[in-house]
Structure 1
Amino acid sequence: MASIYRDVFVSLSLRFIVVAYSVYHDASYDVPYTDVDMYVYLDAASRVDAADAIATMHRAFDAPTYRYTPLLALTLSTLGAHVVTSKVIFCIADVLVGVLIHAVAREITTPANAVKCATLWLYNPLAINIATRGSCDAMMALVPVTAALAAFARLDKSSFAHSLDRRRLGLPLLSGLCLGVAAHARIYPVLYGPCTLVAVYHAAGLAAAAAFACGCALGGGVPTAICLWTDTFAEAGDMPYLSHALLYHTKRVDFRHNFAPHWLPAYLSRFRGGDADDSNGTTYAEHIVAGPNYPQLAAVAATMWATIPSQHAPGAKTRQLVVCYLCSTMAFVALNKVITAQYFVWWIVFLSFLPIYCSRWRGVLLSCAVWVVAHGAWLACAYQLEFTSPPPTGAAAWTHAASCAFVTMKCLLVCVTLQLARKENVM
């Protein structure tokens, strides 16, 4: 790991410089650099008393639009609820993701390729932007997910015999614990459970798979149970964690900063009875965008089935698992009813492993370039719609067209990745 020390130091320093600039930018410009979610986190953290955490964590949901685990608010409250200190924490977590990517890659490829994988994340401008604007995704999801992958990579490389021993059970248990924590914090990592379970079974047998399942149950179940317990301290009949952090995501309607084409019905619903947050304003949208998302479920299931690990050679299952994580996450995000910029890092983190499973980068990089162009087109249209008053004629139609093009490019990227993985005999 000594070979990436310099990159870790440089990339962390770069993030700290951007954080320092963000303080100046926020004070000098009308459009702030810091994400509005950062202030939501801090508002929630200010309502939680770390000395009496269990009895006060439910108060985090008194902050408007706070939809995360109250353990995040407790963590920030304990470490100091301030914009700069919170960003520093998120940046450190972001760099830790790069270290864990290196830990995964060095188990299955050459040291030089492992460093390439790490640097693809450490110097990724989108990852730097998301972390320095104040997104918790690196700390709450990417660190535990990559830690789970690192534990599995060590298990896969070792190729333990199918016999009971502590070493063989410890790694899948650790992997399950990390994945369970990630699923509790951000929900979407639950996607990785079934394919990882199959991979663990192929790598080390039934006992290891059972240990992984127990780890998932503990890692996800214990913090969820604690959060549900804190709901009992809320007002009678009120279940803020259950309502705002879990059930809310099954019926979320969002017409601001949403890349998905589903934003248009929510946007139009504003003209059917007031603001989109009112019951009259969401009725029309809920019929269209708040129901089950069957195309998304079908696409995720299909990509998982196509990429689920099955090879028995040491290291091969880790490569397959990375492709499975990447493609299933891209499919999930591409067809989700709400897509924000933070969601991109969910799959871009696995794109960092490109050097170990794809020797032909041209197709993937070309698809990424087209996706970036579609991203820029959407931003240009959405800026006119959201920040220009009154918005230009046809701004909503152009933004919707850009959303459709954006989703199409994401689906194309999934197909290209699957095709290249097959050509490289990863699957």
Structure 2
Amino acid sequence: MLLQLGLAVRAVLLLVGAWQDAHGQVKFTDIDYEVVTDGAARMAQGGSPFERSTYRYTPLLAAALVPNVTLHKAFGKLLFCAADLLAAWMFRLLLRRRGASSLLQAAGVALWLLSPFTVTISTRGNGEALVACMLLAMLLALNSGHLVPAAALFGLAVHWRLYPIVFSLPLLRHFALLRQQSLKRQQQAGPPQQPRALLAAAVGGLVSPAGVAFGAVSGAVFLALGMACYRLYGWPFLHETYLYHARRTDPRHNFSPYFYPAYLSSSTAPGSDSWDVGWAFSAAQAVLQMAIGLSCASDLPFCFMLQTAVLVAFNKVSTAQYFVWYLSFLPLVLPDLATAPNRGRLMAAAAGWGAAMAHWLLWAYLLEFAGWRVHLAVWGASLAFLAAHVWLVCELVAAWRHKRDAALAVKQKSS
């Protein structure tokens, strides 16, 4: 029923969007969809998608959207909507394996399918749902004990969209924790195996045979895809797909507070870096990513959600499509949040996050469409949104700690 409802909502939005594109002054379709379609057209003609200015994606995306040119321009949107539905199906499978009730399974699926972010992002022509499917399929494969397919999916996801690279640390830590638990069970079941225990402790809780194998396979997939694309498209592939995003700043207004320092720096004399505070955002993000990756790796979905929340909050560029990165994991931890003792504070933090976004959107509208010179007001709204983000992350961490403490209590009682 939920899948049918999600499909119906997307079908209506696709039709409304087509009408708005044809008759409205403000287009419904995302400009990036036009960029990718143009890149696909150049690929279909035997050229490079990077011949299209501002094409900054993997060539695989242009290849997937070649039917936009050969069949119908809406093909890509249909593909992204199909990915939404596939992700919803995988959410239900994962929630069932995590022991969620039928009600919470339905709530998690509905949260993904009916969220205004996922609905509008896919129907406007943005393919974030494709990466979500890769990561969810990776979690399903790991849950089923299929390490090689999981590693290949992770390598593909990182090639497709660079941000999942932050999950490397918790994945390595997760495999090491499983290895340590296995060694501990073996020692309890038989005579002590002191050398193996010492070896497990010596590697610092990060190195394990499974982790090495996972890293080797995922790294090989990533490198193979990168080398193939480089051989076909050369330096433009490396620069536009990876290097540009690694150093990207955006002086236009976006949810990140860094937009205003970047705007001021772009307005000053060349070489002026008086407002360049990007290092502070990068340093804060690196410290938090390491802390979360090492501490929360026992529960990968919860860890991934916390990492994406931190990544988006402290990234130097932040747009609405990035919020889909949260939703790629939020339904999986919904059962834990529903039973957390701080669920009241969680709801308040979520409401504060929504209010901060609405406040930001008001000032951004006045800047973008009304033409008011309200850059400082937008910056203030961005700072308020960052504060709301941090509040929400703190409450999510508190909910994870409750889950960890409850699991430890059960474990101690059973032993």
Range into which the TM-score falls when normalised by the shorter chain: 0.7 to 0.9
Give, in angstroms, the shift of residue 154 of structure 1.
2.6
Percent of aligned pairs sharing the same letter: 29
Counterparts in 2 of 1:8 and 1:36: CA distance versus 1, 3 Å: same
**Compared CA separation, residues 399 and 102, structure 1 to 2 (3 A):** same
- Residue type matched to 2:78 in 1? V
2:42 aligned residue: 47
1:332 counterpart = 2:321: no
Consecutive unaligned residues of structure 2, counting only runs of 5 or more, are 183-207, 408-415
> Which amino acid letter does the alignment assign opposite residue 294 of structure 1?
A
1:258 maps onto 2:254 in alignment: yes
**2:250 counterpart SS class:** coil
Match of 1:182 among 157, 174, 177: 157
Query: Shift in Å at residue 111 of structure 1?
Result: 5.0
2:205 corresponds to: none
Which region of structure 1 is more displaced relative to structure 2, 73-82 or 10-19? 73-82
1:25 aligns with 2:20: yes
Residue number in structure 2 paired with 1:227: 229
Once the two structures are TM-superposed, the CA of residue 348 in structure 1 deviates from its matched residue by 2.2
Q: How does the TM-score come out when normalised to structure 2?
A: 0.84
Equivalent residues in 2 for 1:247-286 (5 A)?
247-272=243-268, 280=270, 283-284=271-272
List alignment gaps of at least 5 residues for structure 1: 1-5, 156-170, 233-238, 274-279, 310-319
| Cα distance per residue 1:56-105 (max 9 Å; x no partner) | 3xx21121211111111111115646542211111111121111111211
Query: Of 85, 92, 105, which residue of structure 1 is paired with 2:95?
Result: 105
Q: Matches of 1:407 and 1:45 in 2, distance apart? A: 36
- Letter of the 2:61 counterpart: L
Deviations 1:220-246 (A, max 9, x none): 2221121111134xxxxxx10111111
Q: Which amino acid aligns with 2:325?
A: W
| Alpha carbons of structure 1 residues 258 and 153: separation in structure 2 relative to 1, 3 Å | same
| 1:157-168 map, 5 Å | none
CA distance in 2 between counterparts of 1:217 and 1:188 reads 15
**Residues 13 and 356 (structure 1), Cα distance of their counterparts in 2 relative to 1, 3 Å cut:** same
Q: Tell me whether 1:216 sits opposite 2:218 in the alignment.
A: yes
Matched, 1:415 2:380: no
Relative to structure 1, is the Cα distance of residues 241 and 379 closer, same or farther in structure 2, using a 3 angstrom cutoff? same
- What is the CA–CA distance in structure 2 between the aligned matches of 1:270 and 1:199, rounded to whole Å? 43
Aligned length: 373
Using the alignment, how far apart are the partners of 1:289 and 1:242 within structure 2? 26
Q: Could you list the per-position Cα deviations for residues 238-275 of structure 1 after superposition, in whole angstroms to 9, with x for gaps in the alignment?
A: x10111111111221212241111111232345447xx
Alpha-carbon distance change, 23 to 367 in structure 1, aligned in 2, over 3 angstroms: same
**In 2, are the aligned partners of 1:26 and 1:32 still within 8 Å (CA)?**
yes
Distance in 2 separating the partners of 1:340 and 1:187: 16
- For residue 364 of structure 2, what is the aligned residue in structure 1? 382
Match of 1:404 in 2: 383
- TM-score, L = length of structure 1: 0.82
Question: What is the aligned partner in structure 1 of residue 11 from structure 2?
Answer: 16
CA RMSD of aligned residues (A): 2.2
Q: Distance in 2 between matches of 1:285 and 1:68?
A: 29
- 2:262–2:275 contact (8 Å) kept in structure 1: no
